Chain A
Amino acid sequence: MKLHKKDNFSRRNFLKTSVLASGGMLIGFNFLTACKPEAKMPVDIANLNFNDFNAYIKISEEGFVTIFSPNPEIGQGVKTSMPMIIAEELDVAWQNVTVAQADLDTKNFKRQVAGGSQSIRSSWSVLREAGATAKQMLMQAAANKWQVDISTLKVANGIITNNNGDTLGYGDVVKEAALLEVPEKVTLKELKDFTIIGKDAVNVDLHKIVTGQPLYGLDYKAEGMVYATVLRPPAFGQELVSFDATAAKKVTGVIDVITIGEKVRDFKKSGEKNWSFNLSSSDKVVVIAKNTWAAIKGKKAIKAKWKTITALESTEKHEEVLNGILNDTKGKVRREDGNVAKAFTNADKVIEKTYSAPFLPHNCMEPMNFYANITKEKVHLVGPIQTPEAAANVVGKMFGFAQDKIHLEMTRMGGGFGRRLYGDFVFEVAEIANKIQKPVKLISTREDDMTTGIYRPSTKYKISAALKDGKVLGYHLKEASINGNMYGSIAHFFPAGCIPNYKVETGNYKSNVTTGAWRAPYTNFLAFAEQTFFDELATELNTDPIQLRLNLLENIDSKKDKRIQYSGKRTKDVIELVREKGNWGKVAAGIYQGFAAYYSHNTHVAEIADIEIKNGLPVIKKVTVAVDCGIVVNPTGAKNQVEGGVLDGIGHAMYANFSLKDGKPTYKNFDTYRLIRMNETPKVEVYFVENNLKPTGLGEPGLPPAGGAVANAINAALGKRLYSQPFIKDLKKQTILG
């Protein structure tokens, strides 16, 4: 059944209550199914099992509230912010709420994904309604007890009060409430009455983190568990021929050396497809050991022979093909307004620039790992994964298990950045567990992660502008990328609609190097290219860079173009806020500023970077950020996300170099691969635009404008434009701060 109209959608279909054996009340709901009108609904709602839901509110007879957060936590704070939304509508005191991670528990209509900064946006209404529904049922139970009308009751902090001043706690009425019909209509709070949303709430796992308690996949242990390391082809395009495990088997603690790969090939042959499945067909050598160290040493001792199946690629090759796409091919047109060719023919002046970005590994601080135990009857999986549903689905198909035989527990994740959207390590460990019929944990080293990754692909942009009579009349953006191209919506980001003759086209090269989403896919580099290009245009037009953006945005909101993704007003709001807070143009001598603004993942962001020059090198002092993400659910968490996004953006733009030679990544660990460190980080000041609009994501949007703001500041200071990342390479200097 497909539901198209919101009206068809009754609360009863996504919410269910029951009395707990322990006496409390359990409210289950399916938060993403509920907010997706096209989602398949269960056929028989009455017979649903509680396992069919992915989010729960539990209220005990003592009045304690436990909220099982449905979304995997990768560090973006949803495990705190989502329960805050429920607690707000439920009207309980935040300090009385416990938050736990809900596991993925079978049945096929569930969906738990952390990625794309969409978590909060897509679940805002559902979480509010779930909380409000529970509250209304509890109030109804109290009204029945007192035999008064529900409208005469008041609630605060989980205590219901009637006109006589009598009180009942939620715990006193849970039993009765659980038996009531789920109401069809509930009233949501007025935004002005919010007491939890908009107030700082610290990370719910905070104390466990600072005391070193087990939380992450790498920390998980089970009785009888063994450890596995996987030797994969050293170059993209190679496969295993043979191996000698004599030395490996002599390492103390090594139990066995096996191969995997057959199940991957079977899955591929079956024609089954899943976007999170990204594995090569090669056999891989697996060392099974009693402990991690033996597994690592054993792997080093394997002598393997590899053969080349498809051409081994290099960074030089990618440079060549991407330049070829930019200069010699017709791309796929993603958007075209007016007559771009004519605008360029009639221009007073044409500016054309090309921007380049390297491959990037994700480098989550916690290396990829996963636990599996597969017996004849069932599958138990535990670990950090952003896409539990897809992972369980593929494992079910690979090993012939129905979804209700698969139990997947999610751990806290030591970073995601897009890497844990792909389940390669889950499928590998499942094949190992299936083969050895023992509980096993796959462990990757940093070298494994960096050299057999799923990379942000190298991308190039060529941007041209046609200037006439001091105005930008034509704009042409061409993207050349590897294994994929910008999402369709990106062609309708700024400056779409602001320039009368406008064209975006894309071209692609298929590579055997695995690539995938990386924090703020495409926009993580596109924003730099565009925002430095506009800075250059401002210089060319003799205009203040901020004023140039504001002029271009002048009439955008009056255009009736539904495809346009961003709001002119909201873009202007963040620009004006950052101009004021960042003291644009009013800083002390010796400080140079750069500006950038970008809309991505439904959030508008503007940034100003302040730098100074020390010993001829740029030192980034401060970044001021203005953000419009609608209602800010948890200010401390939101700021943390934005600060991190900005510094991540700067770090990768400045330092992150990566390359391939003969199919092999040439960077393997943090001795050569450079991540930003504390003494290189500027202060980040974050300001939010205050409004009453639906909250939008924060995990990604802070990142895209950061590189552009810094590059523009470097130009202001040194008169040197940057066209490629990392900047330090472009600046031909090896260190910034020594």
Chain B
Amino acid sequence: MPNYTLNVNGQQRQVTVDEDTPLLWVLRDELDLVGTKFGCGIAQCGACTVHIDGVAMRSCQMQVSILDGTKITTIEGLSTDGKHPVQEAWETIDVPQCGYCQAGQIMTASAFLAENKNPTEEEIRNAMHGNICRCAAYNRIEKAVKLASKNL
């Protein structure tokens, strides 16, 4: 099996996995970073969202072999103290119900806000529409993104 060196949350990590292994399973099974979630496996739900060089991407559809030289950030590395403005907004608004989709929601929101500091309601709704929340905590997700944009 091939060897890969990945830059995850600022650390160089070595893994030995099959080349078609999606980043999602490398993170979860090999690197013990289980904050990134599995929801659909076909890039439809956003539960597995991570940042690749700052851009929100679906890790379930991203083969480990193409990630050389990129910077990968997962929910565990979004902030060192768990106090990224998006995480804080999520806590203030008390967003989660079951909570399972929320890491993906936060990763999408944080990458979006890094690009668009002062989004309109419509922009937020469109930016977040790729992330399914089965519990439908959408009203609060929207409020939290708005709040985070003010605190960034």
Residues of A near any B CB (own CB < 8 A): 74-77, 200, 202-203, 205-207, 209-216, 218-219, 221, 227, 252-253, 291-294, 296-297, 363-367, 412-417, 445-446, 636-637, 640-641, 643-644, 647-648, 651, 669-671, 675-679, 681, 683-684
Contacts and interface: CB of A to CB of B under 8 A. Distances in A.
Nearest to A682: B139
Contacts of A292: 25, 28-29, 38
A678 B141 contact: yes
A252 B25 CA distance: 14
Interface in B97-130: 97-103, 106, 124-126, 128-130
B39 A446 contact: yes
Contacts of A675: 132, 134
A214 B132 CA distance: 20
A209 B139 contact: no
Contacts of B39: 365-367, 446, 670
A220 to B, nearest CB: 9
Contacts of A211: 35, 75-76, 82, 87
Nearest to B76: A212
B18 A294 contact: yes
A676 B136 contact: yes
Nearest to B25: A293
10 contacts: A207-B82, A209-B102, A210-B82, A211-B75, A292-B28, A292-B29, A293-B18, A294-B18, A365-B37, A678-B129
B94 A636 contact: yes
Nearest to B21: A293
Contact of A210 (B29, B90, B134): B90
A530 to B, nearest CB: 23
Given A210-B103, A637-B94, 10 more contacts: A209-B99, A210-B96, A216-B37, A292-B29, A293-B22, A366-B37, A643-B139, A648-B134, A670-B132, A677-B129
Contacts of B41: 296, 445-446, 669
A108 to B, nearest CB: 29
Given A207-B82, A678-B131, A214 B34 contact: yes
A446 B76 contact: no
4 shortest A-B CB distances, which residue pairs? A212-B35, A75-B98, A414-B100, A212-B75
Contact of A366 (B76, B82, B100, B106): B100
Interface in B38-56: 38-42, 44-45, 47
B32 interface: yes
Contacts of B17: 291, 293
Contacts of B6: none
A135 B36 CA distance: 42
A643 B140 contact: yes
Nearest to A684: B139
Contact of A216 (B20, B25, B100, B138): B100
Contact of A643 (B40, B124, B126, B137): B137
A413 B34 contact: no
B4 to A, nearest CB: 14
Nearest to B1: A252
Contacts of B45: 365, 670
Nearest to A414: B100
Given A212-B34, A677-B132, A644 B96 contact: no
Nearest to B143: A683
B140 A678 contact: no
B74 interface: yes
Contacts of B132: 365, 670, 675, 677
A291 B29 contact: yes
A648 B102 contact: no
Contact of B102 (A210, A641, A644): A210
Interface centre among A291, A669, A675, A678 (most CB of B within 10 A): A678
A698 to B, nearest CB: 11
B75 to A, nearest CB: 3
B134 A364 contact: yes
Interface in B1-41: 1, 17-18, 20-22, 25, 28-30, 32-41
B102 A252 contact: no
B133 interface: yes
Nearest to B81: A211
B74 A212 contact: yes
A641 B140 CA distance: 11
A210 B21 contact: no
A296 B38 CA distance: 13
Contacts of B47: 365
Contacts of B94: 200, 202-203, 206, 636-637, 640
Contacts of B98: 74-75, 364-366, 412-416
A74 B100 CA distance: 10
A446 B40 contact: yes
Contact of A203 (B28, B34, B96, B129): B96
A156 B102 CA distance: 37
Nearest to B30: A291
Nearest to A412: B99
A636 B106 CA distance: 20
A221 B42 CA distance: 24
Contact of B101 (A202, A219, A365): A365
Nearest to A648: B136
B18 A644 contact: no
B112 to A, nearest CB: 12
B135 to A, nearest CB: 5
A685 to B, nearest CB: 9
Nearest to B33: A212
Given A366-B37, A678-B141, A414 B97 contact: no
A679 B126 contact: yes
B129 A291 contact: no
Contacts of A294: 18
Contacts of A291: 17, 21, 25, 29-30
A367 B28 CA distance: 15
B97 A641 contact: yes
A678 B142 contact: yes
A679 B125 contact: yes
Contacts of A416: 98
A415 B42 contact: no
A415 B35 CA distance: 16
Contacts of B76: 211-212
Contacts of A210: 75, 82, 87, 90-91, 95-96, 102-103, 106
Contacts of B75: 210-212
B37 A415 contact: no
Nearest to B144: A210
B21 A365 contact: no
Given A215-B99, A365-B98, A640 B25 contact: no
A416 B25 CA distance: 24
A367 B96 contact: no
A643 B140 CA distance: 9
Contact of A669 (B21, B44, B140): B44
A644 B42 contact: no
Contacts of A221: 32, 34
A684 B17 CA distance: 46
B91 A202 contact: yes
Given A202-B91, A366-B98, A415-B100, A643 B133 contact: no
B99 A253 contact: no
B32 A367 contact: no
Interface in B71-85: 74-76, 82
A654 B40 CA distance: 21
A670 B34 contact: no
Contacts of A651: 136
Contacts of A446: 39-42
